[in-house]
């Protein structure tokens, strides 16, 4: 992602995408364009809050100045507090991530489910739009006329043969059955989701979306994984 040319100087938004396998960050201009290249490090294991915040510090240090912070987090988030993180660590339950991030960098911070942030980087803002992320697990976000429906954890709903959506198409399933069979599984998920939610557009994102091959239904599109960072600007739309 090339840095944005001739962008206004401020406010600059540090966008952080917390994933089960990687931590990513870049700085956004007020118009949402990228001011820096994307930086990435591996997610620490065990992925406790302290370990993850420690790993973020050198990642962020190389990105320069910023005025505020947006974070995409792989779990349920309510008012900046993480309620769950099935692909990180059990100690995230009840953790005030927004406050911890704000305290660490002395900047205002906002936190949203990572699929929610990624969807903001992809949607057109009209009608019902839906995003599924294919990564360590499976994320889900739904929007109505550009407004996010928070914390829809479709991934943990039973899908086939007593397995959840996440167990069916998450990274463990990809590694177990191989790319060809995994592609077929993803198409079964799409075929299940479309007639239930009836989105005008269904976006597929996440690090494993690149493994999808062949034609998809006309209302389905693959989005670049960097949308999980670019969508961070939407968390500050109401800021003066």
Residue 162's pLDDT is 86
Output 6 or 153, whichever has higher pLDDT: 153
Residue 1 has pLDDT above 70, yes or no: no
How do residues 134-188 score in pLDDT, each as one tens digit? 999 999 999 999 999 998 889 999 998 889 999 999 999 999 999 999 999 999 9
On whether the CB atoms of residues 227 and 118 are closer than 8 A, the answer is yes
pLDDT greater at residue 16 or residue 87: 16
30-59 burial, b if ≥16 CB within 10 A, otherwise e?
bebbbbbebbeeebbeebbbebbeebbeee
Average pLDDT over the chain, rounded to an integer: 94
Q: Average pLDDT for residues 231-235, to the nearest whole number?
A: 97
* Domains of the chain, earliest start first: 13-114 (3.30.420.40), 123-222 (3.30.420.40)
pLDDT confidence band for 8 (50 / 70 / 90): low
Angle between helices 97-105 and 49-61 (to 10 degrees): 40
CA atoms within a 13 Å half-sphere pointing along the CA-CB vector of 31? 9
Q: 61, exposed or middle or buried, with CB in 10 Å at 0-12, 13-18, 19+?
A: exposed
pTM comes to 0.92
Residue 120, token pair as written in the block: 């903001």
Q: Lowest mean pLDDT: which of 4-18, 105-119, 156-170, 221-235?
A: 4-18
The residue-averaged pLDDT of 96-100 equals 98
Q: Is the pLDDT of residue 116 over 60?
A: yes
Q: How far apart are CA 139 and CA 166, in angstroms?
A: 8
Listed in order, strand segments (DSSP E) in the chain are 13-18, 22-28, 39-42, 68-73, 77-78, 81-82, 95-96, 109-113, 128-134, 138-144, 147-149, 158-160, 163-164, 201-205, 220-222
Residue 238's pLDDT is 83
The pairing of beta strand 39-42 with beta strand 22-28: antiparallel
Question: Sorting pLDDT into bands at 50, 70 and 90, what band is 240?
Answer: very low
Residues 200, 180: contact at Cβ < 8 Å? Answer: no
Mean pLDDT calculated for residue range 28-50: 96
pLDDT of residue 16: 98
């Amino acid at each position: 992602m090339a840095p944005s040319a001739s962008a206004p100087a401020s406010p600059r938004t540090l966008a952080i995408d917390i994933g089960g396998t990687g931590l990513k960050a870049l700085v956004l201009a007020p118009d949402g364009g990228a001011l820096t290249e994307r930086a990435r490090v591996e997610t620490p294991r065990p992925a406790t809050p302290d370990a993850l915040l420690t790993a973020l510090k050198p990642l962020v240090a190389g990105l320069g100045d910023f005025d505020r912070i947006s974070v995409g987090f792989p779990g349920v988030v309510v008012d900046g507090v993480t309620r769950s993180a099935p692909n990180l660590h059990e100690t995230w339950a009840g953790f005030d991530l927004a406050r911890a991030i704000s305290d660490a960098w002395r900047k205002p911070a906002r936190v949203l489910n990572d699929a929610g942030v990624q969807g903001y980087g992809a949607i057109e803002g009209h009608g019902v739009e839906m995003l599924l992320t294919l990564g360590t697990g499976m994320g889900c976000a739904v929007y109505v006329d550009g407004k996010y429906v928070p914390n829809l954890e479709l991934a943990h709903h039973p899908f086939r043969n007593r397995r959840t959506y996440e167990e069916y198409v998450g990274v463990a399933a990809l590694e177990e059955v191989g790319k060809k069979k995994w592609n077929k599984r993803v198409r079964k998920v799409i075929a299940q989701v479309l007639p239930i939610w009836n989105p005008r557009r269904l976006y597929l994102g996440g690090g494993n979306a690149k493994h999808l091959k062949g034609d998809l239904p006309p209302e389905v599109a693959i989005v670049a994984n960097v949308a999980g960072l670019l969508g961070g600007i939407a968390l500050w739309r109401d800021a003066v």
